[in-house]
Structure 1
């Protein structure tokens, strides 16, 4: 096995273990905190909200993305991923004994850490890929990463057996999740060790020089130049869509299932089943749309995106007809648009969980593919723009998630899906993209202090 492929498998495994705890926590956080509000912790009642916490997290994620490429440049990708991953461990740990002030503080920290973690991930994936392997590597990483949805939610499904998630259930659940997160950090330490030994052999890093805090300026200039290109402006729409969609199916949809009284007293554990099926769809999609098909031409990539569009439209329609309009905000027994029997409703709900995972993987693998191949000279800035827009829209979606009805949330996400798909098609079939990128970076280099920029370029790669 070549070094690059081994590194991608190790990268995907580290993310898989770390996010086994975090993704399951995110899906059940609102339901867990509704149970915590019935308790008294250290003499004060808990007032936190899973929706507001997620909004804060993604807002901090968006802001930190401005500085993330320079931070990754200074720390190098391996160390940056470890430090970013540490904040995820703290977030999961906070659910053992949640307090309002500490819960929101750790939400800020994980938002900062997430920007560093994901920017570093994009750079590390690109460093270990080339034109012929990027589709394969993106698919492998995506499939391994999404195993986290499967593993974490299996445990949630087994552990949650009551209508309300009580203290006796919550504490053992999050002790296990905290241990799992710690194991993920150990894998990131292994990535640091491999990066150190490979750097000594001069296989990945071209120079030992690191960036400095002053490199934020050239990084921002690169980002501004990218944003002046037609194709990056078009990509902002699918970037935004991924923020709205992930907020809905990873946060809001699970809460709707847990709130729907029709599903019975054990409905909270069904959130875990939803997460498992999303994970199955994501894993299968990562394999099909990345590793097996290995789309390389614009037409092949466009086909993958179109399949994702159709699958996700099916999912959003099923949500519209199958759940009451107030299910995202409160326990409800109201009738949905079509009042199916309990069994039929659950079949539709959980079939849709698999479908949305499959559709989401097709779009995300192609986005990573395009960013890694067409923006190779400025990978960190391109991935930072992606995560900036995605996280900003996720923050907006979480802020309104608990206050507006489902049909209006669906309207927003479907509009962005439709126009985002058209924009993605336009980028894929524009053969001048690479030339435009080269010109944009060239202008940036001319406008930036040459030594500082070369420092940045060498260390980030």
Structure 2
């Protein structure tokens, strides 16, 4: 097997194992912490909120994205991914015996680590791809990554059998998740080892002079990001970036909480959050293979078709949520009636078909976003992915801040507006046949600054 393909498979496998614990934790965190507050072993000592934690996480994620490319440049992608992954392990570990102060501290740490992890992932994926393999590799990574939704949520579905999640259920659940996270870190160590072997084989040992240039590269990395934000296409891409943040918050955080809060679904409704995660994962995996690996879209028209299919699927999902859940479901246990008052069984069927549909639609957007960033911004991948994650995480933070207080229909209105305009903006970028505006601008600025060859040095520093 080709070494680069093996690297992509190993990358996806490491993310799959690490996020098996984290993705399931994120979906049930609000319900778990509601159980902690009512647990007699904690009394009134715990006052944390899953929504608030996620808002803190994504706020720190957004701020750290400014410096993430520089950190990746210093440590190299493989080591940076391990450092970022360690914070995920600490976050999951904190749920065994949650304390308000420690819970919010690890929320800050994982926000910092996530920015480093995902920026390094984008660089590592681009370094192991070219124009002809990026669609395939993006699809492989996305499918493997989303398997994490299956494994973690299957365990949640099996483990949560009561209306309230008490310590007897929570502690074994998160001990297992902590062990799984540690295994994910071991896989990142293996990636570090492979990177070291490949660099030795290709005689890419860093010299003293290259290390001396690292400080210059850090400054240059930030300048590249600023220059990117002055280009028309990157400004247009900010809209789908923002939608990605709002949608991730909704279907991975708010929607699962709505299911767990809907009293109509019975005493075992908390475990249904796990079933929601399983079906989202099935949709994401199928979509990653369909929109990336099988169809292998290469032209603008092919990619636009994938985006259009995803747009339609996600509109269907948001409409089904609007008619199927009460307005106050995101914030509290509720017996209120939704827009259409279906029977419990019919409502659940609609809810879980929708879970699969949103996973399928979400994968179409994310695979095409990764394709565009990795192909159109090949010489400045770290900066491009950092901007993506900056905007995505900032909007996710905003969404989590209002998730517990804003009624369901208003949350849906916000996300649908960004879906519509984000799709239009993406189409505009895909069919823009003009010369790469960033290259022309950056070369001019670089000559004016009279600095070293920014792109060559930057590319070699993160390769």
TM range (shorter): over 0.9
Of 285, 288, 295, the residue aligned with 1:286 is 288
- Alpha-carbon distance in 2 for matches of 1:353, 1:296: 28
- Alpha-carbon distance in 2 for matches of 1:62, 1:446: 31
For residues 19-42 of structure 1, what are the alpha-carbon distances to aligned partners after superposition, in whole Å with 9 as ceiling and x for unaligned?
000000000000000000012567
The answer for the alignment partner of 2:365 in structure 1 is 363
Of 317, 320, 327, the residue aligned with 1:318 is 320
For residues 291-348 of structure 1, what are the alpha-carbon distances to aligned partners after superposition, in whole Å with 9 as ceiling and x for unaligned?
0000000000000000000000000000000000000000000000000011110000
3-state SS of the aligned residue for 1:25? helix
Asked if 1:141 corresponds to 2:176, the answer is no
The answer for the alignment partner of 2:447 in structure 1 is 446
The answer for the alignment partner of 2:255 in structure 1 is 253
Q: Shift of residue 192 of structure 1?
A: 0.1
3-state SS of the aligned residue for 1:337? coil
The answer for the alignment partner of 1:28 in structure 2 is 28
- Alpha-carbon distance in 2 for matches of 1:409, 1:43: 32
The answer for the alignment partner of 2:429 in structure 1 is 427
Q: Shift of residue 439 of structure 1?
A: 1.3
Q: Is the 8 A contact 1:81 1:117 kept in 2?
A: yes
Q: Shift of residue 441 of structure 1?
A: 3.0
3-state SS of the aligned residue for 1:450? coil
The answer for the alignment partner of 2:265 in structure 1 is 263
Structure 2 vs 1, CA of residues 75 and 21 (structure 1 numbering), >3 Å: closer, same or farther?
same
Q: Is the 8 A contact 2:214 2:461 kept in 1?
A: no
Asked if 1:124 corresponds to 2:140, the answer is no
Q: Is the 8 A contact 2:37 2:43 kept in 1?
A: no
The answer for the alignment partner of 2:194 in structure 1 is 194
- Alpha-carbon distance in 2 for matches of 1:333, 1:137: 46
The answer for the alignment partner of 2:301 in structure 1 is 299
For residues 124-183 of structure 1, what are the alpha-carbon distances to aligned partners after superposition, in whole Å with 9 as ceiling and x for unaligned?
000000010000000000000000001100000000000000000000000000000000
3-state SS of the aligned residue for 1:411? helix
Q: Structure 2 stretches of 5 or more lacking a match?
A: none
Q: Shift of residue 438 of structure 1?
A: 1.4
Q: Shift of residue 458 of structure 1?
A: 1.4
- Alpha-carbon distance in 2 for matches of 1:172, 1:148: 19
Q: Is the 8 A contact 2:73 2:218 kept in 1?
A: no
Q: Shift of residue 219 of structure 1?
A: 1.5
The answer for the alignment partner of 2:51 in structure 1 is 51
RMSD of aligned alpha carbons: 1.5
Q: Is the 8 A contact 2:25 2:92 kept in 1?
A: yes
3-state SS of the aligned residue for 1:45? coil
- Alpha-carbon distance in 2 for matches of 1:278, 1:373: 28
- Alpha-carbon distance in 2 for matches of 1:457, 1:237: 27
- Alpha-carbon distance in 1 for matches of 2:214, 2:142: 31
Of 380, 383, 389, the residue aligned with 1:381 is 383
The answer for the alignment partner of 1:436 in structure 2 is 437
Q: Is the 8 A contact 2:36 2:42 kept in 1?
A: no
Structure 2 vs 1, CA of residues 322 and 73 (structure 1 numbering), >3 Å: closer, same or farther?
same
TM-score by length of structure 2 reads: 0.97
The answer for the alignment partner of 1:68 in structure 2 is 68
Q: Is the 8 A contact 1:218 1:448 kept in 2?
A: no
Q: Structure 1 stretches of 5 or more lacking a match?
A: none
- Alpha-carbon distance in 2 for matches of 1:44, 1:404: 25
Q: Shift of residue 214 of structure 1?
A: 5.0
- Alpha-carbon distance in 2 for matches of 1:437, 1:233: 12
Q: Shift of residue 212 of structure 1?
A: 3.3
Q: Is the 8 A contact 2:287 2:363 kept in 1?
A: yes
Q: Shift of residue 444 of structure 1?
A: 4.3
- Alpha-carbon distance in 2 for matches of 1:192, 1:16: 17
Which has the larger displacement, 309-318 or 193-202? 193-202
Asked if 1:184 corresponds to 2:184, the answer is yes
